[in-house]
Structure 1
Amino acid sequence: MNILQTLEQEQITKLTAGKAIPDFAPGDTVKVSVKVVEGSRERLQAYEGVVIGRRNAGFNSSFTVRKISYGEGVERVFPLYSPNVAEIEVVRRGDVRRAKLYYLRSRRGKSARIAEQTTGYSAKVAAAERDAVAAEKKADKA
């Protein structure tokens, strides 16, 4: 491993120390909590949509989330290891056969839907993740 890769790995471990990044893939519906600064206040803004692509490039990894807001398609690219991304939560797992879902841009309505993954290993992992998140939230409330 050369010096640049070592430095990148150190940065990644430092940035991910406080938060857990779940395994997610294109087709999954995710809820991204983004830190927004308004004047002197800082708050979290939730952005929920379908992951239409991931770019795995070490420290520069990013993912694109698409949602429909007031009838308009809105896409936002999030750096995976950004300190402004507070939390990533997988809402549901999608069953797709592509790595990049750019074809969703030209689709509207029912043709833009993505089937949920209901069988196989990923569905079991998704169910286990949902149960773990629910238990964690219940423990936080207590």
Structure 2
Amino acid sequence: MLQKYSLNLANRICKNSKISAFSVILRQFESTFVAPERPTLKSRTDASKRASVEGREDPEIFSPEYVPRQVLPEWHRNNLKYRLERMDCLRRRQNIDIPEFYPGSIVRVTVADQYAQEKVSKFAGRVLYRDGFGMDCHFCLRNILDGEAVEIIYQLYSPIIQKIEVLRLEKWIDTDLRYLRDASDSSICTIDLDMIPEAILPPSEKLPVFEKKIKMRPWKRWNWKYHRSWPQPQNAYLNEHFVEEELIMNEKYIDLHSWRKFDICRHHDFIQEKKDIMEEMKVNKLRIRGRRKRGNTR
């Protein structure tokens, strides 16, 4: 009876109006409850937007391969070539994520291989060095598999590289770790190919430097005279293999070659150049984004 009465009442109300009877009935049961706003939680992306520490800048804005080798006199520098190379590097970084890593870090690289079963091959190892400018940047991975040392050199911007994973982010004092080939402990470069990646500190925190020293084999079995190289390795025990007379001879040899300490080309101060490169790469990044938006609208 109540339903019939409500329908008749609704029909009477709606005779001279355009409102339907069903809508009038629904308005009788409308609730005045207003749902409260949900609290917004800070996501990981918010943490990544914080200002990065000096030396851990965004790789797209600054990376070691963006700095060209010093050329003297300065008018012999090909600045146009350097700008084009950096722009090509940034374009490549839009297609693949090239993370932050240093000599000493443990990295796994996935490469397209037509001779592999799944057309893909993976290799993990410790980074011995990273060298080169622009698209010519390359790095070397070393791993010991079944008692045999294996080293592979990858071109950082090679199109066959599909993925680069940082399994452990480490930063050593030395930037050239080729002396690990003559280390007495082979476990330093023995890396599991299926190693699980470790958590990486956010770029807003300073990365601790690896200051431990590595024991070396007897110096007569070394592949290179590391004790006479410049600069001297800081992460390796070198002097413990020599007697006092040999240490004196090594110091005399270093003194004879002390001119390297005053070689301007070996002490390339690129502090101001780094700031200019970062400003240049920020503009390049905006250019690439603008071209992408134009392409999508078309």
Same-fold call, TM > 0.5? yes
Residue 9 of structure 1 aligns with which residue? 86
Asked whether the equivalents of residues 32 and 46 of structure 1 are also in contact (C-alpha less than 8 Å), the reply is yes
Residue 37 of structure 1 aligns with which residue? 114
Query: Matched residue of 1:9: which SS?
Result: helix
**Aligned ranges for residues 63-142 of structure 1 at < 5 Å?**
63-109=139-185, 112=188, 121-122=206-207
Query: Matched residue of 1:20: which SS?
Result: coil
State the shift of 1:26 in Å.
0.6
- In structure 2, the gaps of 5 or more residues are 1-77, 191-197, 209-298
CA deviations over 1:69-113 (Å, ceiling 9, x no partner): 111111111011001111111001235211011111012436736
Segment of structure 1 superposing worse, 100-109 or 67-76: 100-109
Segment of structure 1 superposing worse, 70-79 or 88-97: 88-97
Q: Distance in 2 between matches of 1:42 and 1:9?
A: 33
Alignment partner of 1:49 is 2:125 = yes
Q: Distance in 1 between matches of 2:170 and 2:84?
A: 34
- In structure 1, the gaps of 5 or more residues are 124-142
Query: Matched residue of 1:37: which SS?
Result: coil
Identity of aligned residues (%): 31
When normalised by structure 2's length, the TM-score is 0.36
Q: Which has the higher strand share?
A: 1
Greater CA radius of gyration, 1 or 2? 2
Code of the aligned partner of 2:160 = N
Code of the aligned partner of 1:14 = R
When normalised by structure 1's length, the TM-score is 0.71
Greater relative contact order (CA < 8 Å, ≥ 6 in sequence): 1
Segment of structure 1 superposing worse, 81-90 or 12-21: 12-21
Query: Matched residue of 1:122: which SS?
Result: coil
Q: Distance in 2 between matches of 1:103 and 1:2?
A: 35
Q: Distance in 1 between matches of 2:171 and 2:85?
A: 32
State the shift of 1:43 in Å.
2.0
Query: Matched residue of 1:99: which SS?
Result: coil
Code of the aligned partner of 2:145 = S
Segment of structure 1 superposing worse, 2-11 or 91-100: 2-11
Q: Distance in 2 between matches of 1:14 and 1:52?
A: 26
Asked whether the equivalents of residues 35 and 42 of structure 1 are also in contact (C-alpha less than 8 Å), the reply is no
State the shift of 1:37 in Å.
1.1
Query: Matched residue of 1:38: which SS?
Result: coil
Matched length: 120
Query: Matched residue of 1:19: which SS?
Result: coil
Residue 32 of structure 2 aligns with which residue? none
